Amino acid sequence: AALAGQRLDVAAEAASRARALAPNEPDVHFLSGKVALARGDLDSARGHQERALALDPAHSGAMNELGRIRLRRHDTAGAIRHFINAARTTPGEHIYSRNIDVVILRTLSRMIYVFVLVALLMLWVPAVMHVDRFPFAVGFGVLAAGAVASFGLVLLRLPREARGLVRRTLRTRRVATALFVAIGGVAVAFAAVAFVPPSELPQTLPIAILITIAARITATARLRSPVSKNQRPGDRMT
């Protein structure tokens, strides 16, 4: 109750007393780990969840919490592995599978952010370096190929079962729309800069930058939009 009310000091004291009363109760260590994670103590949180699993190897809640800890450490592949194990252990608890969707959406959002940031920097190249259209177009192709290759590397690091989940998520309308907006917006911005006469570049460049920023904001908003009844990806992680 103290944890739910964000009274973390009270929660930590209660968890300590609970461990003293029932040191071999897996749920006590599970809740202690949740308190430690809420306080930002990742090492202690992991220790408690690993202890809970040692006492009860089928404790899906502890598996889920280990996934959240991995995610805090920016280990996406490790987090998904724990979420998959939790979902396998307790198939009826849909929050574990939704957590996998949340991780995938966060990863896509982060990749869109990096893609658009690099594109924004590249848009200044014609104005600063006065390069021809062909090298600039090649640069856009390299950027797109690099984004695809980076996503492929991330996909290869995931467990085989997770790759199927990624493909399923990519086929949803919200994700497809977000990717189309991000890539399409950057393509329009690059075309606007590449195909205008050099004399008009000072007027066109700000418009291209605004298009790129708008594409990123719209794509991110689409990924964070509420899920319709026909879609599975969740919006929060538990």
Whether the per-residue pLDDT at 236 is higher than 70: the answer is no
The CATH T-level fold of domain 8-92 is 1.25.40
Whether the per-residue pLDDT at 132 is higher than 80: the answer is no
Q: Which residues of 94-106 are buried (b: 16+ CB within 10 A; e: fewer)?
A: ebbbbbbbbbbbb
**What amino acid is encoded at 23 in this protein?**
P
Intervals of CATH 1.25.40.10 along the chain: 8-92
Highest mean pLDDT among 8-22, 111-125, 149-163, 217-231: 8-22
DSSP string, 173-197: HHHHHHHHHHHHHHHHHHHHHHSS-
Each residue's pLDDT tens digit, 182-215: 989 988 888 888 777 777 878 888 898 999 999 9
